[in-house]
Amino acid sequence: MKSKTKLIAMFLLIAFFMQTIVFAEIPKFTVVIGKRGYSLKQLHKGEGNSEIKKGVPIYIKNAKGKWIDIKSGKQVNKNTIPRITYFDEYGNKMVFEKHDGEIIKEACEKICFELFITKNTSGIGQVVSFVTTPEGYSEFFYVNYFEFVDKENKKLTQKFELGQDNFTYPEIKQKNVNINLYNVYNEKIATIEDVKIKEDEKIGISDRKIKGRKIVKDEGITVAFLKQKN
């Protein structure tokens, strides 16, 4: 069992270093419009149109890591680039220091879970879907169940299985709720605080809302993970 714990710890460390490499600098082919960064895919979807109409400066980071002024087509010094906020396709927020600087980790937010609630097709009750994002899975692969509670931790629903379409009745009427997370042994391992409920709208939940995670230390390696029972 100890070897299994070490294997999981190693997996998390690899995931951590991969993220560090990916997010250490502004990605190539990022388009900076004003103080916002966009991928080409996001621009194709129409994001950033309102800022473009304002006539703000627009720059793109090319394949060689050089910055090009879109309007003139000329290369510009990286000192021209302001501090920018970049949202990727999953809703992860990244903030980069001015002059094409490094990521400002304390200003970033990572989307770990996605919640979607809609009315049941029969008209009775609701269907609840709650899943981890690719970023969230590396930290919360051990989460199996969840439940909705109020601010005083009073149960609003039964426990549901993560990653499944779950039926709940009566409907969740509260606009702001907490979500308790449990492992396979039904042990509470964290709480997501102050989630705003909106039907028929995908809700991204950032790491900043997740409180009280249980931490396990194994021979100097710290991971957010509960030890497996023998």
Distance of CA 59 to the CA centre of its chain: 26
Q: Which residue has the higher pLDDT, 132 or 3?
A: 132
Residue 6 pLDDT more than 50? no
The DSSP secondary-structure symbol of 50 reads H
For the chain, domains (ranges, CATH) are 25-102 (no CATH), 111-223 (2.60.40)
Task: Please state whether the peptide bond connecting residue 57 to the residue before it is cis, i.e. omega within 30 degrees of 0.
Answer: no
CB-facing half-sphere around the CA of 229: CA atoms within 13 A: 5
Give CA separation, 44 vs 31, 47, 120, 190, 224, in Å: 12, 7, 34, 38, 38
- Give the residue-averaged pLDDT of 184-196: 95
pLDDT digits (tens, 9 = 90+) for 192-207: 999 999 999 999 999 9
Instruction: Check whether 225 has a pLDDT greater than 70.
Output: no
- For 185, the token pair is 């042994």
pLDDT of 10 above 90: no
The pLDDT of residue 5 is 46
pLDDT the model gives residue 215: 52
pLDDT at 139: 86
Q: Is the pLDDT of residue 25 over 70?
A: yes
Given this model, what pLDDT does residue 183 score? 94
pLDDT tier for residue 229 given thresholds of 50, 70 and 90: very low
Give me the pLDDT at residue 91, please: 84
pLDDT of residue 77: 96
* Mean per-residue pLDDT over the chain, rounded: 85
